[in-house]
Amino acid sequence: MLGTGSSVPSRVVTNDEVGGPAGVDHEWILGKTGIRERRWAKPDEATSDFGVRAGRAALEAAGIGAAELSLVVVATSTPDQPQPPTASVVAGELGADRGTAAFDVNTVCSGFLFAQTAAESVLKAAGGGYALVVGADVYSRILNPADKRSVILFGDGAGAVVLGPAPGPDRGIVASRLAGFAADRDLIEVRAGGSRIPTTPETLEAGLQYFTMNGRGVRDFVAEHVGPAVHEFLAEAGLSTADLDRFIPHQANGRMIEALGESLGIGPERIPTTYREYGNTGSASVPITLDRAARNGDLRPGDLVLLAAFGGGMAMGLSLLRW
């Protein structure tokens, strides 16, 4: 990873503002999630707008130009539109050369690590080059304002990284792992708007265009699968959680991060977070948090960093970095 970047909307949405229509207040939301506020896009802003800004910041940090990219991958479950890929919009707006490959990945909140792993594989197969990997979502457009289980959690934004030749022999991506759990695919979904249930006046009346989540089921999924997968993944590299300098998980909510950290024996001093001010930013949460940690000086050369994400599908991604 040669550079990181991020972008969030300027509009701050407080707990009282988002909680009012859902029948809850600031203290209830804070106690349940640890989230104090989130950022929501303005009506004229879309997913690609934040992806472009985050991508530009990552390119500047890496010291390369968009014309040097051979690949742009955007992880999102809230694209600008069904077609073309949001990655094509990001690549075009950044000024990537004609012929630069661009595609989207959708594994919901775990999408960034799936996109990163795919981009890494493409670069290895090509024998080198540079890739821009973006995680970007605008969840505020698909939230039911009356659903206290989901509307209080999500914010909008984007995070990005530039992949390329490692800056040293002992630095870079050490290992990655992706996993899917299709039997649990109903835990997180947006039912209407696709080919199975096209959008109609009836689906809109029924609220099928909104994001839904089985919160208890997701918590059980994380407890059952994520912690054990982390231990197994590290053990295969001859490591344990004690060897990690930083652990950056998906910013689902504060209580879930606390529980996961405790189960892994990783204290809060080793877990950078952004959920308090940004909420759950979907596929953007890991790269936004990574970017902030990098820019705040929380990551030092040689640090061992584990990225972990989980999301609808259900899906899970892990990536071990030597910073």
Measured between alpha carbons, how far is 254 from 231 in angstroms, rounded to an integer?
21
Give which of 141, 149, 275 is closest to 212, Cα–Cα: 149
Residue 124: burial class (beta carbons within 10 Å; 0-12, 13-18, 19+) = exposed
Residue 147: burial class (beta carbons within 10 Å; 0-12, 13-18, 19+) = middle
The active-site residue out of 15, 106, 250, 253 is 250
Question: Are the beta carbons of 251 and 281 closer than 8 angstroms?
Answer: yes
Residue 275's alpha-carbon distances to 32, 43, 109, 284, in angstroms, are: 13, 23, 14, 11
Give which of 151, 125, 126, 124 is closest to 139, Cα–Cα: 151
Residue 85: partners with Cβ closer than 8 Å, 6 or more residues away: 74, 79, 102, 103, 104
Measured between alpha carbons, how far is 140 from 40 in angstroms, rounded to an integer?
6
Q: What are phi and psi of 227, to 5 degrees?
A: -55, -55
The active-site residue out of 15, 106, 253, 280 is 280
280 flagged as catalytic: yes
26 flagged as catalytic: no
What 3-state DSSP class applies to 313? Answer: coil
Measured between alpha carbons, how far is 12 from 37 in angstroms, rounded to an integer?
7
Residue 83: partners with Cβ closer than 8 Å, 6 or more residues away: none
Measured between alpha carbons, how far is 239 from 236 in angstroms, rounded to an integer?
7
The active-site residue out of 15, 106, 109, 253 is 109
Active site positions, annotated? 109, 250, 280
